[in-house]
Every structure is written in C-alpha cells, then in structure tokens.
Amino acid sequence: MADKLTFELVSPERLILSAEVDMVVVPGTEGDFGVLPGHAPTVATIQPGVIEVYDEGHPVNRLFVRGGFAEVTPAGLTILAEEAMPLADMDRASFEARLAAAEEDVRDAKDDTARAKAEQSAEQLRRVLEILGQN
C-alpha cells in the first residue's frame, strides 16, 4: 500500500487541485466516504458538499463541489466536479442571486422538462447556501 494518495480535482474550466495526500473525504450521494491510499476501485456520484483533504493527519484543504463524479483507481482519486472552488472563496450573495434566478426559471418554465431541470438547479443552490451557513 502506498504512503500517499494521488488526488486530482477537476472542474469543466480547469484543474483545481493536484496533490499527494493522506486522505480525502468525499460528499457522495450515498453518504460521505473517505479515500485512503490503496482504496478499492470505485466510481461514485457526488452531491453538493465539501471535500476535505487531509495530510499529515490534519485537514489541509476544504473545497466546495456542486455535484459530479469521483473515480478511485490504483493510480489515485480523481473528482470531476460540475463546479468546484475553495470554500474560503465562496461568496454567499452570489449564490443567493443564483438561487433567485433559478427559482424564477422554475416559475417561468414552459414545460415539465425545463421545470425539472430548473428545480434541480434550485435545490442544489439551496444545498450550497446550507453548506455556507454551516461553515
């Protein structure tokens, strides 16, 4: 078993973090799960939440993700996130404005498909604001 876990967090725009770490805690849709070096191969969906990165036994990074996929392979952990950013960089007012726009999209939806998509976006944004309220 390797001493360190290779971890990469990727958003559609860029590589956000690439590091050798001890452990990463991932907000999976089936519950949070920890990944250590030597973890069994896994693919999981991610819900909006906070990724916690540990090194030397201590949390060294907390990053927000707004959904995506986590893949654990023998090479390490890769998270492909819909949106990701350091928790400290998040602006609550910006997410409140995005939620208001999503709620308006729900009201203005022309069909069930558009309404369902807008409702999903609004629900994710409510979860983001809940996370920001806890941190």
What pLDDT, on the 0 to 100 scale, is given for residue 2? Answer: 52
Alpha helices in the chain (DSSP H): 92-108, 112-134
| pLDDT tens digits, one per residue of 64-97 | 998 899 999 999 999 999 989 888 788 888 888 9
Same domain, 101 and 78: no
Under DSSP, the state recorded for 14 is -
Pairing type for strands 76-81 and 5-10 reads: parallel
Mean pLDDT of 39-57: 93
Domain residues for the domain of 62 are 5-87
Residue for token pair 């350091």: 86
Same domain, 38 and 66: yes
Predicted structure pTM score: 0.76
pLDDT tops 80 at residue 134: no
pLDDT tops 80 at residue 36: yes
Q: Per the structure block, which two tokens stand in for 45?
A: 């969906």
What pLDDT, on the 0 to 100 scale, is given for residue 19? Answer: 96
Same domain, 96 and 83: no
* pLDDT higher at 124 or 38: 38
Measured in whole angstroms, the distance separating CA 33 from the mean position of its chain's CA atoms is 13
Pairing type for strands 42-46 and 68-73 reads: antiparallel
Same domain, 65 and 125: no
Same domain, 21 and 71: yes
CATH of the domain at 18: 2.60.15.10
pLDDT tops 50 at residue 1: no
CA distance 135 to 133: 6
What pLDDT, on the 0 to 100 scale, is given for residue 94? Answer: 86
What pLDDT, on the 0 to 100 scale, is given for residue 87? Answer: 81
